[in-house]
Amino acid sequence: MSGARFSAKAAQRRWLPQGRRGPMPWIIAIMMFLTVLAAACALGLGQALLTMRGDLAGGYTVQIVEANAAKRAEMVRQVEGFFHAETSVRSYRVVLESRLREQLAPWLGEEAQSGDLPIPALIDMKLAPGTSLSKIKEITREIIARAPSARIDAHQSYLAPVEALMRALMWAAAGLVGLMLLVTGAVVVLAARSTHDAHRGTIDIMHMLGATDLQIARLFQRRIALDALLGAVLGTIAAAALLWLLDRNLAAAGSELAALISLPWRSAAVLLGLPIFAMLVAAVTARITVMRALERSL
Amino acid sequence: MAGCTGFGRGRSGLDMDRIIQFENIGLRYGADDEVLSDISFSLTTGGFYFLTGASGAGKTSLLKLLYLAQRPTRGVLKLFGEDVVMMHRSRLPGFRRRIGVVFQDFRLVPHLSAFDNVALPLRVAGMDEQEIAGPVEEMLGWVGLGGRQDALPASLSGGEQQRIAIARAVIGRPDILVADEPTGNVDPEMAKRLIGLFEALNRLGTTIVIATHDLPLIGQIGHAQMMRLDKGRLIDPTGALRFPPASAAREGQRPGLPLGSAQ
């Protein structure tokens, strides 16, 4: 018989009509598409910042500005000797003058290659991780003692504005994720209220037959959670496809900065966990919304 | 208790507990005048009661109080010995499961089949699905709808829907059955059959309260008590207006069972 054909849970699910799903899955799909993109942006930028900081941390360029080539060479030799002896200096490399002249050629033209134009000597130096500020100051003093005209620039300071911009973009993207989840919650609240109102008659009957608020709320919770999961999976698949295309285009562009933006497996796991999270948010929100609506009745 | 009476049949084996008690109950909707005023009575376990009165007298409102669809605005209402007026709403489902209701407008769930509508109280109560099919099929057969188990309410006639509503109300063997015009849409033959069902349920100990205009229906239950509402007030709460009157010489119809035992 019809009643016996179904399990108890299946029978309970039919307490609400099993009709068309309505627009909620599609709205959730769009929200989730945007959420995944924003989350990917936040995670990618976060990863890029970490990579950039790692690459630039402890990196310095010592620029010895001395017109006299012999004196300049002597200063470089002195500084090299100091770096060699100093244990806090993990590595150093004197940039070849020919390389510098090559790099300056586009701006200075033929004169850059002639050797008549004095150019400063550059030494790239990397300090050991965790070098204290006082040690850095001490090293700076030692360099100046050996090359009074030396200028010491931290690599991090070159890209500080870029880093600030990336950080701002990362937090903006994270904020967008938060807002999207908030809006998703609001959509669920509206959908739950609308579904509750649409089935008010059935709910009243269930109440009169002794159904508890929890029994009724579970029906809505399950339905809305499934709608949310369906929408979230669709949105995530679409976003993942777009991210894959963007990744291919970035790789083809060959930009070093773009290459910094990558998603390690942990970030990918976070993105793939978003649909589950959205479903849980939807289920909890629906349950709370319906329970509150039911509390207004007797 | 002002105007309180204990209607009861004094049948052997049945206790005389007051299953329903109204004390100075008043009910108003919003800021309007009271639709029920100073209602006081008590009903005993296993009694059979009719509630009569003109349209608008307050019968449906009184029934709503009985099946906990409404709380009174004043007074004390006790069901099964417990005051339900101030009771936390989380406790109400347990009480409602002990009360079967036949609504005047049937209130069947439109997207559920006849079988599923009748099975609802059992499923709400958490009964195993294997234990549901037998009683539901039997009950549907009893109300003459054994062959229409899969029919949706919209495809059933008014009378058939009413029988489904009655089957749903009695399937869980409630302690109290409240019915609002339960035979209004069925032919006399089926009405007689349904009253027989109510009587059978009553014999098993269920307290029956039926709101009706149908005097012949009232006449079918010799041992029933009658309450009459007029403009929101209970007329003759002493039970003197029971129908048929005691002088109708129907004592012989049910040996040992007085027509009424109003106190």
Q: What is the pLDDT of residue B222?
A: 79
Q: Is A177 exposed, middle or buried (0-12, 13-18, 19+ CB in 10 A)?
A: buried
The ipTM of this complex is 0.77
CA distance A23 to chain B (A): 21
Report the alpha-carbon distance of residue B151 to residue B11 in Å, rounded. Answer: 40
For residue B248, what pLDDT band results from cuts at 50, 70 and 90?
very low
Spatial separation of the C-alpha atoms in residues B117 and B107, rounded to whole Å: 10
pLDDT value at position A257? Answer: 59
Consecutive H or E run containing B136: helix B129-142
User: What is the b/e burial string over A238-267, where b = at least 16 CB atoms within 10 angstroms of the residue's CB?
Assistant: bbbeebeeebeebeeeeeeebebbebeeeb
Note whether A205 contacts B89, CB cutoff 8 Å. Answer: no
Q: At what angle do helices B158-170 and B129-142 cross, to 10 degrees?
A: 130
If one compares B141 and B193, the residue with the highest pLDDT of the two is B141
- pLDDT at res. B4: 35
Residue A107's pLDDT is what?
Answer: 77
Query: What does the pLDDT read at residue B8?
Result: 38
Q: Which of A160-164, B105-109, B173-177 has the lowest mean pLDDT?
A: A160-164
Of A3, A8, A208, the CB nearest to B101: A208
In this structure, are strands B18-28 and B34-44 parallel, antiparallel, or unpaired?
Answer: antiparallel
Q: Where are the alpha helices (DSSP H) in chain A?
A: 2-5, 8-13, 24-56, 69-85, 97-108, 110-114, 133-146, 155-158, 160-198, 200-208, 213-253, 256-260, 265-295
Q: Provide the percentage of residues in chain B whose pLDDT is more than 70.
A: 83
Q: In this model, does residue B10 exceed pLDDT 50?
A: no
Least confident of A269-273, B93-97, B116-120, B206-210: A269-273
Q: Residue B156: its pLDDT value, please?
A: 92
Q: Which residues of B touch A (CB under 8 A)?
A: 67-71, 89-90, 92-97, 101, 107-113, 115-116, 119-121, 123-125, 128-130, 132-133, 136-137, 149-150, 168
User: B28 has which bridge partners?
Assistant: B34
Structure tokens at B212: 């009706």
* Residue B152 pLDDT exceeds 80: yes
Residue B97 has pLDDT above 80, yes or no: yes
**Confidence tier at B2 by pLDDT (50, 70, 90):** very low
- Subunit contact A3:B97, Cβ cutoff 8 A: no
**Chain A residues with beta carbon closer than 8 angstroms to that of B149:** 1-3
Average pLDDT over residues B246-253: 38
For residue A182, give both structure tokens. 């908030």
B185-212 per-position pLDDT tens digit:
778 887 887 888 888 889 888 999 999 8
Under DSSP, the state recorded for A22 is: -
Counting every residue written for chain B, the total comes to 263
Mean pLDDT across the stretch B147-159? 90
Residue B37 clears pLDDT 80, i.e. is over it: yes
What is the per-residue pLDDT for A20? 63
Residues of chain A under the 70 pLDDT cut: 1-9, 19-21, 111-115, 254-262
Q: At B49, is the secondary structure helix, strand, or coil?
A: strand
Best mutation target, A209, A214, A218, to test chain B (most B CBs within 10 A): A209
- How sure is the predictor about B66, in pLDDT bands with cuts at 50, 70 and 90? very high
Token digits for B109?
């769930």
Please give the residue that has the higher pLDDT: either A108 or B256: A108
What pLDDT is recorded for position A35? 92
Give A82: exposed, middle or buried? Use CB within 10 Å, 0-12, 13-18, 19+. middle
Question: How far apart, in whole angstroms, are the C-alpha atoms of residue B209 and residue B66?
Answer: 9
Nearest CB partner across the interface for A3, out of B67, B110, B116: B116
Kind of pairing, strands B225-230 and B48-53? parallel
Confidence label for B262 from pLDDT (cuts 50, 70 and 90): very low
Chain A residue with Cα closest to B113: A2
* Predicted local confidence at residue B259, as pLDDT: 27
CA proximity to B42, closest of B217, B184, B253, B207: B207
Answer whether residue B244 shows pLDDT above 60: no
Residue type, B250: R
Question: Where would I find the beta strands (DSSP E) of B160-222?
Answer: 176-180, 207-211
Distance CA A148, CA A225 (A): 70
Nearest CA in chain A to B99: A209
User: What tokens does A117 get?
Assistant: 């134009």
Q: What is the pTM of this model?
A: 0.69
Residue B249 to residue A213: CA distance in whole angstroms: 51
